[in-house]
Amino acid sequence: MRPVTVRLRAATAMVALAAGAGVVLSVPEASAAAGSATGYATQNGGTTGGAGGQTVRATTGTAIHTALCNRASSSTPITIEVEGTINHGNTTKVSGDSCNTAAGVIELKQISNVTIVGVGSGAVFDQLGIHIRESSNIIIQNVTVKNVKKSGSPTSNGGDAIGMESDVRNVWVDHTTLEASGGESEGYDGLFDMKDNTQYVTLSYSILRNSGRGGLIGSSESDVSNGHVTFHHNLYENIDSRAPLLRGGTAHMYNNHYVSLNESGINSRAGARAKVDNNYFEDSKDVLGTFYTDAAGYWQVSGNTFDNVTWSGPGEDYRPAGPNPQSNTSVSIPYSYSLDEAACVPDIVSRTAGAGKGLQESNGDCSA
């Protein structure tokens, strides 16, 4: 087992930046965004977001859009520090040559080289989703997105907390809290969705909870051009299914804590391949397999803990990997990574995952 790398983010830098509200900075090291991308987001040239560009403070959704539209071009690097509550009342469409925005959603469309990071007392996107479309090199860090609906009122982003579609490349979402208050019947959809040729994405140190659907990779059995996605050190809690749903492509799940997956968990189907390492599954049902389809998917498993996990019997379109999950494929991972022991994962994730945790990362110590 390789040692765990310690990468604690500098809280003092965040405090200093919080004092500079409203100031436009042009010094790269002044950014509150911290750390480096991990997982598949390091591939395909890497993910650096707005590094090297100006840093702008925003307290409304309109100000976020304005910052995007005021750039010299749609690819000019920018870091947008966000503080406060972003909602429908303060998020309007802004026009410009370097942006393509819309009211009622944070629209990152046909742009590149952008970081959005929560600072100060925190950033909450309330009933307002973040939509990434035809874009690349995006970082979203230290924000909460909650209660985004696709039906009822108000609606935003098709009901996804964070949604990516149409030729998206290189996105790193880190230390976020994504949550709903129910399932589809209550008006919600997915917390973290990728479709229509979205690739090289990492979700790290985040919380996904209280939703019918955790997220998907591929919108249908024919939408298999997505993939190269890493999930690590995340908490999935009180999720009915899709943790995630993977159609085609490759995904790597390691050191995640899954609690109360009520119907199914990692759903690998339509030829998808999932590498599932050193995760902790707890008080859950059918946490890995091919579900709700006869289009089989595959998995490679190692070092996982199954704590009070129940398994259904196999059927024509329901094939759980358990009760004794075995690998049925081999997945080669192109990047370096360090694994925490599965037994340590619940404690480590509880201390590090989600917005407002000081952007801390694992040091591999259960008792720290």
Distance CA 174, CA 354 (A): 8
Handedness of CA 148, 154, 156, 159 (dihedral sign): positive
Nearest to 193 by CA among 183, 204, 201, 185: 201
Are residues 192 and 161 in contact, defined by beta-carbon separation less than 8 angstroms? yes
Pairing of strands 192-195, 318-320: unpaired
Angle at 51 between CA 49 and CA 53, to 5 degrees: 110
CA distance readout (Å), 9 to 14, 35, 348, 361: 9, 7, 16, 8
Distance CA 171, CA 65 (A): 19
Nearest to 44 by CA among 177, 201, 258: 201
Show which residues are catalytic.
Answer: 242
Nearest to 78 by CA among 121, 118, 41, 28: 28
Handedness of CA 152, 58, 118, 108 (dihedral sign): positive
- φ, ψ dihedrals at 51, nearest 5°: -55, 135
* Beta strands per DSSP E along 205-297: 207-213, 216-217, 227-232, 235-241, 245-247, 250-254, 257-261, 266-269, 273-277, 280-285, 288-291
CA distance readout (Å), 61 to 66, 114, 147, 179, 239: 9, 15, 16, 19, 28
